[in-house]
A and B are shown apart, each in its own frame.
Chain A
Amino acid sequence: MVPTLIGRIQTRLFLLATVGVVVTLLIMPIVPGVTAPLSELYVTGLLVLVAVGVLGIVWELIYHFLMQFRWEKDWPTMFGLLTLVPEGLLLYFLLRSGAVGFIDPIPAAAFWTHFTVVWVSMWLVANGPMRVPFIRWRFRGGRVL
């Protein structure tokens, strides 16, 4: 998919709300290093998704700006995966510093397992399977609506 700005944002939010939620529900019972009850983990996991969505709008503005330096105005597949590094680091440090007060502190292992599995799943879906139900999505720069 070669995105437009509004398409990027919509795709991110849509995938978080679908793939992100399903993967969170599946992965939370088995993330390492946690002692809290499962219901609390679910709340934390879903709040992390919300944070990825909200922060992501700013990230997408940055990606869109950087994309303007590319003649093709494309966003190579690899970028879509590797951006998990800066996004994950920023979110992790925000959580550690207590800047996002409504999310309980999460152990590093639990955060990174959850975050990486969600991210990779979303990336995989965006790079193919998404086109199966939504035949117009890739021609509209990633707009879902």
Chain B
Amino acid sequence: MVASAGIPMYDIPFLTVGGGIGSFVTVDYLRIYGVPTSQMRVISNIDHPWQTYEFLTRCSQIPRGERIRSDSSSRPDNLWGFPSYALEEAWKDKNPAYLWQLFTEPLLNDYWTPRAGTVFENLEREAKRINYWDMLVKGQVRMVRKRAGGGYFTVVTPPEGAAPTKRIIFRSRFVHIAVGYPGLKFLPDLQEFRTKYSDYQHVVNAYEPHEQVYEFLKTRPGTVVIRGGGIVASRVLQRLFDDRKKFGLQTQIIHIFRTFITGSHGPHLWSRRKGGDGWAYQGFNYPKSVWGGQLKAEMRKLEGAERAAKYKQMGGTNTPYRRHWQEQMRAGREGGYYHAVQGTVDRVERTEDGRLVSYVRSNDGIIREPVADYIIDCTGLEADISEHRIFADLLQHSGAYRNPVGRLEVERHFEVKGTANGDGALYASGSATLGGYFPGVDTFLGLQIAAQEIADDLARRGFVKKMGPLRSTAQWFKWAFNSPV
């Protein structure tokens, strides 16, 4: 049918859709396991795997020289995680203090975390080494469908002029989907404001470009409302505090927490997280043991409601306790220019002089109506998976279904449940699979854990040979000397 429609069709055994860091670490694993580039394609609308990540980190105030929130040994360019980023930066910067920080974290020091630039430069090196760009096909994936006779068809719209037809089709035994966050999501009251006033300049999401806020504040004293209690809020606050100091500004900051944490919190002595001044403190996105320790082992056994409860117990917005940030906030509270309050915002209106008034109701009944020049929504990227057309299609036509947390249900080896077809398999990794047997999915190390599970499953199915200690060591030396896999 496809052939008779005149649509060109390509046979590729393994296809990964997305082309971000999730796709990259998966093909990196498979290349190192021994799959040649001719057997794999990456379908993507971006040119290099770190492109979207870099865009989002830059918007949320982490340019290349700043440090991201990620462990030293979580290296998407190096599946062994050795040498860790800290060793590499210590060597390159001739700075043994990094190693001391690594040794004393998180007890006497903050967690050591890598510079965004270190991550991107190494990804580029590894992408070249595995011939990533030989596998990249530019295009927009419309859908992935089961094929009669096993495997899957993937329908792609190539960029205009790149192909003779408007659509091309790939026929594959295995498809992997790693398309990242379905989209930006706004708080409802802020969305309402933006729609009502068609104002996209003064109410912004921290993941959108919003330099205009910082530029405006350099021209005259202003007030900013921050919404949210996560890492992005911390970053944006740091930028505001830094600018205040650097340019001698008089910016006032009102920080609204929906959930205001006042101290250690948790139901039991064995499950209590530190917190204070509104924030819940945690080194990384998840408690550290989700990537290999106790929580990973526990979650792997849980189903349905029990799993959802476990997610809830360890969940909640949080940010790392960093000494520098603590100092800045303390100075802000003492100097009377940083005000953190608990509250839910009913609505946001525009005042007569064009400023923004938030109607904030706090749990103790107090109503506040702070007026600001800008509102920065730092609450995250959590849109529903059905907002992404590929997932919507899979849920509707291919037997995929949702997990206890509402996202895509996957097996322990990241095969999308309900989508098996003949000898083929459909895998997914990344944020769409949060709520599964493995929690840390939308992190560097989590993507690598998924990639390893997928590579080992492909080995069970005979697509590639499982990598043992000898090949692993030999491949590590190739990585170290930057020679081709």
Contact = CB atoms under 8 A, between A and B. Distances in A.
Interface string A1-43: 1111001000000000000000000000000000000000000
B292 A139 contact: yes
Given A138-B292, A140-B292, A73 B287 contact: yes
A27 B294 CA distance: 36
Contacts of B292: 1-2, 138-142
Contacts of B269: 69
Interface stretch (B81-89, B143-151, B159-167, B382-390): B81-89
B80 A131 contact: yes
A84 B271 CA distance: 28
A55 to B, nearest CB: 23
Interface stretch (A46-54, A74-82, A102-110): A74-82
Contacts, number: 93
Nearest to B105: A76
B282 interface: yes
B316 to A, nearest CB: 12
A31 to B, nearest CB: 27
B296 A135 contact: no
Contact of B271 (A7, A71, A135, A139): A71
Chain A at the B interface: SS class = loop
Contacts of B80: 131-132, 135
B288 A72 contact: yes
B107 interface: yes
B325 interface: no
A133 B474 CA distance: 9
B288 A74 contact: yes
Contacts of B402: none
B104 A128 contact: no
A87 to B, nearest CB: 19
Contacts of B107: 76, 78
Interface in B64-97: 73, 79-84, 87
Given A71-B274, A128-B81, A135-B472, 18 more contacts: A2-B293, A2-B294, A3-B293, A7-B293, A72-B283, A73-B293, A74-B293, A78-B107, A128-B73, A128-B84, A128-B87, A131-B73, A131-B81, A132-B476, A133-B473, A135-B467, A136-B452, A139-B292
Interface of B: 73, 79-84, 87, 102-107, 266, 269-274, 282-283, 287-289, 291-297, 449, 452, 467, 469-470, 472-473, 476
Interface of A: 1-4, 7, 67-69, 71-74, 76-78, 81, 128-129, 131-136, 138-142
